[in-house]
Amino acid sequence: MNTQRQERKVVTVLFCDLVGFTQRAEEMDPEDVAALLGPYHARLKEELERYGGTVEKFIGDAVMALFGAPVAHEDDPERAVRAALAIRAFAEEEGIELRIGVTTGEALITLDARPDQGETMATGDVVNTAARLQSAAQVNGILVSEKTYEATRNAIEYKKADPVDAKGKAKPVLVWAARGARSRITLDRLHGSPLVGRSRELDQVVDTLARSRAERQPQLVTVVGVPGMGKSRLVYELSQAVDRDPELISWRQGRCLPYGDGVTFWALGEIVKAQAGILEGDTVEVADAKLREATTDEWVRSHLRPLVGLSVDGIGERDGREVAFTAWRRFIEGVAAERPLTLVFEDMHWAD
């Protein structure tokens, strides 16, 4: 008698596999294979769990992870794609070649499964499709399904890819190749229609910016409202006012994420990256060089490193968090001393 508790859930599945490792492993001693895969598996598990995923299984050099089970979040597809991007960045740094597929859909979830003991948690077409997309991806490529793309296109930059002929599918699967995370809120999609019913609020934020510049003092504006109230549109209109100003005004944006461990001060890190010109695909050496160009203060630079992902230690203890924030504040004060600066933080309810 089957006593397992099961339910249908919408999940995002990530499937990752090394390129050419099976052929290499055939010529290697089993202990050598295990020695190579051990650190690789550990790093992938770390990245997947950092974004809230659960490793369902390791199959040789392949890994399958779930986002949305056993714990669901409102942004599981984005978490999965960001994890895929982080894994690709690690692979490129280490000279590893891999392929990744990400799909979103309904699966049958065994709620009391123990993945760490080899028990299967998820079954369904979404799992098989993720494996098919992984096989079709280019080397160090990330292919995502249509549902994943639709759920993440405002946070991730994509390129349309050729449809994939997947076994068992009547029609080719529409796919997109993930290129990188967008470093700032995408607002250009909002400009198609005029702003309605928010002229008073817009005047307030524009006047606040003018007062800050005149008094050379920081000003804080908090925009609160339910989804769909026009918060992002208001920020867009402010950005347009900044662009029209004859004086050069720096504009930096950051987004707070609810991903748990490893994303302390994420929004602050995004702002530092944007100011320093650090891109998602930059190697550690390139990112470090850009950070050195952005600030000559050695103390500030050393404590900004965890914010931009250049330190494996991250930011954990209270003292470390306070020091990192102090370094960020000194860095931003230096930027603001050169010209007026507008900082925008999105989703502050997730802030540390």
Q: State mean pLDDT over 159-163.
A: 94
Residues 184-214: tens digit of each pLDDT:
444 445 555 566 667 888 899 999 999 999 9
Instruction: Give residue 1's pLDDT.
Output: 46
pTM of the model: 0.64
Which CA distances in Å does 311 have to 161, 236, 262?
A: 34, 33, 11
Per-residue model confidence as pLDDT tens digits over 309-319: 886 555 555 66
The domain spans of the chain are 6-181, 188-350
Confidence of residue 50 (pLDDT cuts 50, 70, 90): confident
**CATH of range 6-181; options 3.40.140.10, 3.30.70.1230, 2.40.10.120, 3.40.50.300:** 3.30.70.1230
Question: Percent of the chain having pLDDT more than 70?
Answer: 83
pLDDT mean across residues, the chain: 83
- Convert the pLDDT of each residue in 96-124 to its tens digit: 889 999 999 998 887 766 766 666 777 88
Give me the pLDDT at residue 185, please: 47
Cis ω before 39 (30° cut-off from 0): no
| pLDDT of res. 188 | 46
